[in-house]
Structure 1
Amino acid sequence: MYKRKELLVTSFALFSLFFGAGNLLLPPLLGYTAGEDWLWVSIGFMVTAVLIPIIGILAHAKLQGTMFDFAKKVSPTFSYVYCILVYVISAAIPSPRTASATHEIAIHPAFGTSPLLTSLIYFALVLVFVLNRSKILSLIGKFLTPLIVIMLLMVISIGLYSSSLPNSPTLEVPLVSGLLEGYQTFDAIGAVVVGAVIIVSLNFKNVSVDAFDAKRALIRRAGFIAGFGLFVIYAGLISVGAYYGTEINIDDTLSSDMQRANLLRGISISALGTFGNTVLSILISLACFTTAIGIVAGTADYFKGLLGNSQTVFVVTAIIASVLGVVVGQLDFGTIIMVALPILMFIYPITIVLILLNVVPDRYATKLVFRAVVITTFMFSLPDVLSFLVPPETIQPIVAIIPLAKYNLGWVIPAFTVFLATLFLQRLNRK
């Protein structure tokens, strides 16, 4: 059986590995635009930014393998391609995005330095922590996460205490807006990446948990605790944005990323005075830094296992991921989000169905079910991807006939229908 200290450290580490740049910047502006509808938008956001990621951790607890195990029932070849794609995307987008957010909000306003200098120092430190990965779980779980949580709760509680009436709502379908905004946190993808980091770190540290069932219980309970923490923080940030945003001028002519930054900075300063700027800078830096560590470590772990469990491969991959982070980190936060959107619309639905299928009992999640549902999800998510790449009128006839396609959720009903139909056909075949 695991110790209570191990449960808390693992829970805090999971929370911190999830909680990065997008997780901090996206919710307040979402609440600001939702206004009185902030509760509905929160529910949507929680589905894709909390519920699905935590189910992903539960799937890791069940499998206790690598990310390869998530997709191997489709086919080994598909799983290799999927894993490589996810890790390359993670190293090329969310990881550099953490450096970009740290520079724009925490470093540049205080020191006026270039993005290149910030990225070089940032990823040099990330690389040092990753190469000393035996200490990752303890350092993040014992020290960095409690500091992040304390700062967040301080800003949220003071902000809500002195808040006013919310804005008028500006979102047509708040629930769907919350769902799609949750995509941009990358948390579902993060679940399959950092969940593997947690498992490897537990094995590497030789904690008291060695039995499969005991380790599964530890990971599952840590996932629930981390999920509850994410729920509280997200709901707090969204509600603060809704209620406190009326008192802050975020300048609608600015880009959305600068609006997010100005709103969060305004809330911090209003809640904590001039000290709020310092708190925000430290908060952004820590939240982004821990997420980048998880992504780079997870990527290096995967390629190490793929290529003969070589420590040299681990080091080289970590260096390449860090260099890629420096290069892409020169882009601003908003540009990285715009590049990420079509990629997210492609990989996110597949990731979601793989997570859900991996927590379904094995007698229902057969190889045939995996293949049928994943292929269906891929086909019906293509219009969402194409909507960012071609003129809207080109795919409008297709969108018009697919349920929920106008909300970028056209894959949901077909995937669920195929899941049920495949189960029914399998049952008939057995009889």
Structure 2
Amino acid sequence: MHKTKEIFINGFALFSMFFGAGNLILPPFLGKNAGDLWFWVTIGFFITAVFIPMIGILAHAKLQGTMYDFGKKVSPAFSLIYCFVVYAICITLPAPRTASVTHEMAIAPYFQQSSSLLTSTIYFGLVFLFVINRSKVLTILGKFLTPLIIVILLAIIFVGISTAPEIVINSTTLQHPFVDGVLEGYQTFDAIASIVVGGVLVISMNFNSNSTFEEKKEVIIKAGIIAGLGLLIIYTGLIYIGFLFSATFGENATRTAILNSLSYQTLGNIGSVFLSVLVALACFTTAVGIITGTADYFKGACNNSQKIFIVTAVIGCLLGVAMGQLNVGHIINIALPALMFIYPITIVLILLNVFPVKYASPLVFKIVIGVTFLFSIPDFLGFFIHNTSLTDIKTHLPLADKNLGWVLPAAISFILANVIQKRKDRLTPLNDS
């Protein structure tokens, strides 16, 4: 009974740390644009916003270390640089975005004179209070905040499905619905979040549990399944009602405007109040998870220094206040090139860490990550450089026109690297003799 309770608390806490700003505003927007192909968009979104993140939690259950352990088979230097880049992205983009969404959707509609600076300052002040009470984070999130988030979300979804207007089947406005779903899933930051908040879960369990490695592995895996099922249900519901109500939105409606409209149409005036509470809670729990995970990592890297933990938390919160002044759309645009660069590497690291060791040797890690890095460069540079040479390169790469030019090379290099490794293993005994 105690283990079941622990699994559900940790599962709910994981869900709340995953479910933030992007998770709320992106699915209805996708549903509206997907039209009659909303199902294919959902499948694409599921891959990068649910499946890969849950594999990330599975990798954490297997490693039970920190983010550093994800990349150490490539090299210690690579892992250090990777961790720094990921944490830098997290505290300068998705964490501040939670404050920006909270201001735009939960504060500004009711307090027009209130500035985003005031919102961000109070918001990250509260985040800091949660973070420094580190040992209680999972319990507070899992027991109290997550159930409220889920109840409000399910109310919007179920009322929306049962009261939807007569469906006007619009053709999709997306060129590649499945791929657009995959790429929009990048914007949730959930794959990156899995290796950040998964570390929070592992360290929290070490604080609060004397369980064995295998017992903790079981709890982490089952908590990840609960969080994943929750995300799948909510994402599918939000995409679907975005499709059902698509005819009621303006042609150029923004992501936040669509979510505001949905809450009003489903729950009336009280819906706007519920949505404000939902947005504030969902964004807040994600910000707590990001700042806590970042502070945990640097604390561990500096001989478990509590001073470093507090300094990192302060820096993360100050950056949140500063970047939180930007509007949501601007932060999303800034994030795109960074995501195109770091997401492929993150996905491949997650997958390699769940493969059996015999298929994921250090040599395999080095080759596959090197190839993934190389073939993700054109997608990254495409945001800054527009010339024929780069266009020619992308023309000759399968899936590059869909910003997935790294996928096939990564898969091929994984197979070839394993062939090389097996050949090397066969030759080693001969050389030794």
**Cα distance in 1, alignment partners of residues 28 and 374 from structure 2:** 34
CA contact (8 A) 2:7 2:219 kept: yes
**Cα distance in 1, alignment partners of residues 245 and 9 from structure 2:** 33
The alignment partner of 1:363 has SS state of: helix
Q: Among residues 298, 302, 306, which one is paired with 1:307 in the alignment?
A: 302
Residue pairs, 1:185-264, within 5 angstroms: 185-205=188-208, 207=209, 210-246=211-247, 248-252=248-252, 259-264=254-259
Deviation at 1:226, TM superposition (A): 0.6
CA contact (8 A) 2:14 2:223 kept: yes
**Cα distance in 2, alignment partners of residues 261 and 367 from structure 1:** 44
Deviation at 1:202, TM superposition (A): 1.2
Deviation at 1:429, TM superposition (A): 2.5
**Cα distance in 2, alignment partners of residues 36 and 396 from structure 1:** 32
CA contact (8 A) 1:350 1:374 kept: yes
The amino acid of 1:188's aligned partner reads: A
Give the match for residue 159 of structure 2: 158
Task: Note the residue ranges of structure 1 that are not aligned, 5 or more in a row.
Answer: none
> Which stretches of structure 1, 4 residues or longer, exceed 6 Å deviation after superposition?
none
Deviation at 1:367, TM superposition (A): 0.2
Question: What is the root-mean-square deviation in Å for CA atoms of aligned residues?
Answer: 1.1
The amino acid of 1:217's aligned partner reads: E
**Cα distance in 2, alignment partners of residues 237 and 390 from structure 1:** 35
Give the match for residue 43 of structure 1: 43
- Kindly provide the CA deviation profile for residues 254-307 of structure 1, in whole angstroms up to 9, marking residues without a partner as x: 6xxxx1111111111111111010011000000000000000000000111111
1:411 corresponds to 2:406: yes
Deviation at 1:385, TM superposition (A): 0.3
1:335 corresponds to 2:362: no
Give the match for residue 126 of structure 2: 125
**Cα distance in 2, alignment partners of residues 55 and 430 from structure 1:** 29
CA contact (8 A) 2:364 2:421 kept: no
* Cα distance, 1:188–1:392 mapped onto 2, change above 3 Å: farther
Deviation at 1:2, TM superposition (A): 5.8
Q: Among residues 256, 265, 268, which one is paired with 1:273 in the alignment?
A: 268
**Cα distance in 2, alignment partners of residues 287 and 358 from structure 1:** 29
Deviation at 1:392, TM superposition (A): 5.3
Normalising by structure 1, report the TM-score.
0.97
- Kindly provide the CA deviation profile for residues 234-270 of structure 1, in whole angstroms up to 9, marking residues without a partner as x: 0000000001121x23351x6xxxx111111111111
Residue pairs, 1:313-324, within 5 angstroms: 313-324=308-319
**Cα distance in 2, alignment partners of residues 242 and 6 from structure 1:** 37
Q: Among residues 375, 380, 385, which one is paired with 1:380 in the alignment?
A: 375
**Cα distance in 2, alignment partners of residues 319 and 214 from structure 1:** 34
CA contact (8 A) 1:2 1:214 kept: no
CA contact (8 A) 2:41 2:179 kept: yes
The alignment partner of 1:66 has SS state of: coil
CA contact (8 A) 2:96 2:321 kept: yes
Deviation at 1:168, TM superposition (A): 2.1
- Kindly provide the CA deviation profile for residues 148-169 of structure 1, in whole angstroms up to 9, marking residues without a partner as x: 0000000000101122324321
Normalising by structure 2, report the TM-score.
0.96
* Cα distance, 1:393–1:104 mapped onto 2, change above 3 Å: farther
1:293 corresponds to 2:288: yes
- Kindly provide the CA deviation profile for residues 190-215 of structure 1, in whole angstroms up to 9, marking residues without a partner as x: 0000000011111112x3x5100010
Give the match for residue 173 of structure 2: 170
Give the match for residue 321 of structure 2: 326
Identity %: 55
- Kindly provide the CA deviation profile for residues 338-369 of structure 1, in whole angstroms up to 9, marking residues without a partner as x: 11100000000000000000000011100000
Residue pairs, 1:5-44, within 5 angstroms: 5-44=5-44
